[in-house]
Amino acid sequence: MEELYDDHVNLRTIAKEVSAIIAGPMPSDFSQLAQMRLEFSRLLNKHFQSEERHLGKILWAPSGMPGTALDDWLKQRQEVRTTFSEDIREWTLPLIREYWEKYCTETKHHLSLLDGMMLFEESKIYPLSAKVQ
């Protein structure tokens, strides 16, 4: 479980760095942002795989978590996964440059979705998982 918490720390670190970039004027050099986006995507995918490995028990066993709460979390998780996958695929560097303000607005929203998911996991899912195991 510690691995999952560590992933959250690392995801928040990158999210904070991306937030700092998108809070300012459009950079003349996008190499730092491009590198962060790739690292963020890699880490998020690794995190989802680790969650599936560590949290499988609560997904298939009676866990004490109401079904609707678990369903809501799974939907939220899938929304975050899809959102960031589409972001990497659709927002190429030329498009980011051309539509900087729109990219910044969407990215802020995406990071907010991720933060909400991580807060829910840390307060509800991970403690529950520790009880089930």
For the chain, the domains span 2-132
24 phi, psi to nearest 5 deg: -105, -170
Q: Which two tokens stand for residue 44?
A: 């998020």
Instruction: Indicate the class that CATH gives domain 2-132.
Output: mainly alpha
| Nearest-angstrom CA–CA distance, 96 and 33 | 10
The chain-wide mean pLDDT, for the chain, equals 88
Residues 6+ apart with CB under 8 A from 110: 80, 83, 84, 87
Q: In this predicted structure, what is the pLDDT of residue 8?
A: 96
pTM, 2 dp: 0.86
Q: In this predicted structure, what is the pLDDT of residue 57?
A: 63
CA-based torsion, 102, 107, 108, 110: positive or negative: positive
Please state the rounded mean pLDDT for residues 14-34: 95
| Total Cβ atoms within 10 A of residue 125 | 23
Q: In this predicted structure, what is the pLDDT of residue 126?
A: 83
Q: In this predicted structure, what is the pLDDT of residue 34?
A: 94
At 27-48, the pLDDT tens digits run 999 999 999 999 999 999 999 9
| Nearest-angstrom CA–CA distance, 117 and 80 | 8
| Nearest-angstrom CA–CA distance, 37 and 21 | 12
Q: In this predicted structure, what is the pLDDT of residue 65?
A: 59
